[in-house]
Amino acid sequence: MNFRQIIPTEKKEKKEKNFTIFLSYKINNYHKGSYHKITDHKTEIKMFTLYGRSTIIKVLFLSLLLSAPALFFPFWARIAIFFITASIVLFTLYFFRDPKRKVPDETRIILAPADGKILLVQQHDHKVTGKSSTLVSIFMSPFNVHVNRIPLSGKVTHLRYCPGQFLMAFDNRSMESNEKMEIGIDNGEIQVLFNQISGFLARRIVCALTNGETVKAGEKFGMIKFGSRVDVILPPSASVLVKPGQVTLAGETILARY
Contact by Cβ (8 Å): 155, 186: yes
Q: Is the pTM of this model over 0.85?
A: no
Judge contact between 64 and 89, C-beta under 8 A: no
pLDDT value at residue 246: 97
- Give the chain's residues under pLDDT 50: 1-5, 7-46
pLDDT tens profile 66-124 = 888 888 899 999 999 999 999 999 999 999 999 999 999 999 999 999 999 999 999 99
| pLDDT at residue 47 in the model | 79
Q: Would you state the pLDDT for residue 206?
A: 92
Catalytic residue among 67, 228, 237, 239: 228
CA angle 204, 210, 211 (to 5 degrees): 125
177 catalytic? Reply is no
Nearest to 197 by CA among 211, 218, 176: 176
Strand-strand pairing, 130-140 and 214-215: unpaired
Q: Which residue ranges form the domains of the chain, and what is each CATH number?
A: 12-95 (no CATH), 109-257 (2.70.70.10)
Q: How many CB atoms lie within 10 A of CB 34?
A: 7
* The predicted structure's pLDDT at residue 120: 93
CA 133 vs. chain centroid, Å, equals 25
- The predicted structure's pLDDT at residue 48: 84
Total Cβ atoms within 10 A of residue 128 = 15
